[in-house]
Structure 1
C-alpha cells in the first residue's frame, strides 16, 4: 500500500483545512478562479479533473468487459445497486430529509438545489477511488477492472437521462445543454483520451512502457486530486464556516445512502454465493460516488455558490472516512461472509472442478 493510500484520511483532512482557510482569507483569489469559465464550465477545475481522471482511466482496458461472465453474480449485484437503487434511493432520502424533516432548519431558497446536488452525487458510480478501496479489501482486481469498465461505458449514456429524470421528478428545471456538456467533458472526453493514449503506449513499447508512463502519471493524478479538494473547499469555505449545521444535515442522507447501498450489495452477494474477494469491491463500488464528476456537473448546472455544489462538496467531505469504515466492516466480517450457505456451496463446487 502506498503512503498516499495509507494516510488517505490525513491528506484529505489537510486539504479540507487548507481549502477552507484559503477560501476564508483569500476570497478574491477564489473569486478570480471562479470567473475563469466558458459556457458555465470552470476551466481550472476542468483541467484538474482531466489530470486526475485520465491517468486512472488509462489503467482500464475496456477489452476486460469480456471477463464479466466470470463474475456474473457480483457484476449483476453491482449494476443493480448502481443503476436501479442508488440514484433513486438518494432522491427519496433527499426528499425525506432535506425536503421534509430538515426543511425548517435549512434556507428555503436552497432546498431544491440541495436535493439536486444529492441526486447528482449519487447518479454516477465511483471510477477513480474504487481501485484504492478494492486494494484495501484484497479485492479481485479483474472483477474491479471489468466492473469499472462496464460502469464507465454505461455512464456515458445513462448519467444525463437519470439525472434529468430525477431532477424533473423533484420539480427542478433541467438545463439539458449544460448537463450534456458536462457528460461530454467529464466522461466522454477523458474516456476517449485515456483509451487513445493507452493504445499508443501499448503500440509503441508494450506493457512496460505503459507501466512506466503510469508511474509518472500517478503522482500527477494524486496531486490533481488534492488540489481539486483544496479548490472545492476554497470555493465553499465561507459557506462551510457560516453554515456548519447545514453541512451536518446534508451529511445525514449521504451517510445513510452509503451504508444502505454497501450493506445491500454485500448481503446480495452473500445470498448469491459470490466470493468475498468480489463481494468486497462490489459493495464499495455500489456505495461510493464519482464525486469529481458530481462536483463538476453541479457547478456547471447551478454555479459555485449554489446549494447543489455545497451538497456535492459535503459528499467529498464524508466520502473518505465513511468508505474507510465500510472497508473495515468488509474485512472484519470475512469469516461470517464465507460461512454463508450459498458461498460455501459455490466454494465447494469450484474446488470439485
Structure 2
C-alpha cells in the first residue's frame, strides 16, 4: 500500500511547497517589473471580485465538487459534531483571539517599531481576517488532507450563512466602529462564484457521466482525469494574487514580517483547537482535518474588500489583509502536512461511524 501511495505521488504533490514558493516569488516579480499584466487583469473585476481569479478557483474546486452527490450532503448534515466544532471555533473563539493576539503584538511587543495609529490599522486588518472563515481555499486544503468533500461543503455553506448575520456586528464590536459597511454584493457574489456555481457544474457533470458510462467508469476513469487540475489551479491563482500585491509587499518588507507573526500564531492556534477537539470527540480524520482547516484559513477576498471600503487602498488595514494572503498558503500547507502525518491519531474505528455515502475515493 505504501509503495502504491509513493508511486502515485506526482511531482506536483511531492514538491508542492516548492512550486507554491516559486509562484509567489514570480507573482511578486510580475507585479513589480511587469505591472501591465496585473493592471490588465485587474480591469476584469465585478464588485471587487477578480473574474480571472474566480475562474482559476473554479479549476481548484470543480474536481472536488465532482465527488459530491446530494445524498452525501444530506448524510453529512445529519452528523452535527463537526459543524458544532466549526461554528464554535469560527464564531465564538477565532475573532476574539485574533484581536487579542494581534493587539498584544502590535501594541506591546512591536510598540517601538510601529507608530500607534498604524498599529491600530494593522489590528483592524487582522480582525477583518479573523472574522471571516474560509469559503473557497478550504476545499483545496480538504482535498490535500483527503477530507470528506460533502462535509467540507456543508461546513462552508453554514459559515456563509453565518457570515451574512455576524460578520459586520463582530467587526463593529471588536474595532469600535459603529458604521461597518460590509459590501454585500461582494459577499454574495463570492459565495455564488466560489461555491454555488462549481457545485452545480460538478453535480451536473457527475449525473451526466454516470448516466452515460456508469458509476464505475466515473470513479475509476473520469475522476482521474482531474488529478492535477486542483494543484495547477492553486499555482496559477497564486501567480495572479501576488502579481496584484507585488509592489505593496516589496515596499514594506519589515512590516510584512511583523504583521505575519501574529497572523501565523493565530492560524496554528485555531487549527489546534478545532483539530484536538475533533480528536477528543472521536471524529474521523476526514472530518477533523477540514474542521481545523476552515477556521485556520480566511475568506481573504471579503477581508480585503471590506478593508478597502472602510480604510482605503493604501491603509495599514488593507496591507494586513494582503499579508494574510501571503502567510496563509505556506502556513496552511504546513498544517496540511501536520494533519496528514497525524492521521493515525484518529481511531480507525470511528470511520465506521460515518455513513459510507460521505466517503470518496482518491
2:176 aligned with 1:171: yes
Number of aligned residues: 337
Higher mean C-alpha deviation, range 111-120 or range 181-190: 111-120
2:187 aligned to which of 170, 183, 196: 183
Of 247, 250, 262, the match for 1:253: 262
Residue 314 of structure 1 corresponds to 323
What residue number does 1:89 align with?
Answer: 97
Q: How far is the alpha carbon of 1:242 from its aligned partner?
A: 1.9
CA displacement at 1:187 relative to structure 2: 0.7
Distance 1:332 1:193 in 2: 33
CA contact (8 A) 1:64 1:145 kept: no
**1:110 Cα offset (Å):** 4.8
Partner of 1:154: 158
**More displaced 10-residue stretch of structure 1: 62-71 or 247-256:** 62-71
Match of residue 239, structure 2, among 226, 230, 234:
230
Q: Name the counterpart of 1:20.
A: 28
**Greater alpha carbon shift after TM alignment, 122-131 vs 86-95:** 122-131
Pick which of 237-246 and 118-127 moved more. Answer: 118-127
Q: Deviations over 1:233-278 (max 9, x none)?
A: 2222222222111111111221111121122223323333334554
With over 3 angstroms needed to count, the CA separation of the structure-2 counterparts of 1:192 and 1:164, relative to structure 1, is same
- Alignment CA distance shift 1:130-1:164 (3 Å): closer
- Inter-CA distance 225–332: structure 2 relative to 1 (3 Å threshold): closer
Tell me how far apart the structure 2 counterparts of residues 97 and 11 of structure 1 sit (CA, whole Å). 31
Alignment root-mean-square deviation, CA: 3.8
Of residues 42, 49, 64, the one that matches 2:72 is 64
Q: Which has the higher helix share?
A: 1
- For residues 69 and 136 of structure 1, what CA distance do their matches in structure 2 show? 22
CA distance in 2, matches of 1:120, 1:128: 17
Contact 1:127 1:290 in 2 (8 A): yes
Task: Give me the whole-angstrom Cα distance separating, in 2, the residues matched to 1:29 and 1:92.
Answer: 39
For 2:356, the equivalent position in structure 1 comes to none
In structure 2, relative to structure 1, the CA distance for the partners of 1:60 and 1:184 (3 Å cut) is farther
Given that residues 272 and 292 in structure 2 are in contact (C-alpha distance below 8 angstroms), is that contact kept between their aligned partners in structure 1? yes
Q: Which whole-Å deviations, capped at 9, do the CAs of 1:45-93 have from their partners, x for residues lacking one?
A: 4444455445544544454233237754444323322232223322333
- TM-score when normalising by structure 1: 0.76
Q: Which residue does 1:5 correspond to in 2?
A: 13
Give deviations 1:14-62, integer Å, cap 9, x for gaps: 1111111112212354344445544444444444445544554454445
Contact 1:49 1:292 in 2 (8 A): no
TM-score (normalised: structure 2): 0.75
1:119, 1:163 within 8 Å by CA — same for their partners in 2?
A: no
Residue 196 of structure 2 is aligned to residue 192 of structure 1 = yes
What are the superposed Cα offsets for residues 303-335 of structure 1, whole Å, 9 maximum, x if unpaired?
654434432332232223323433444455566
Shift of 1:181: 0.9
Give yes or no for contact 1:114–1:308 (8 Å, CA) kept in 2: yes
Aligned equivalents of 1:290, 1:25: Cα separation in 2:
28
SS in structure 2 opposite 1:236?
helix
Residue 221 to residue 174, structure 1, CA distance change in 2 (3 Å): farther
1: CA distance between counterparts of 2:308 and 2:61?
18
C-alpha distance in 1 between matches for 2:313 and 2:233: 19
Question: 1:288 maps to which residue?
Answer: 297
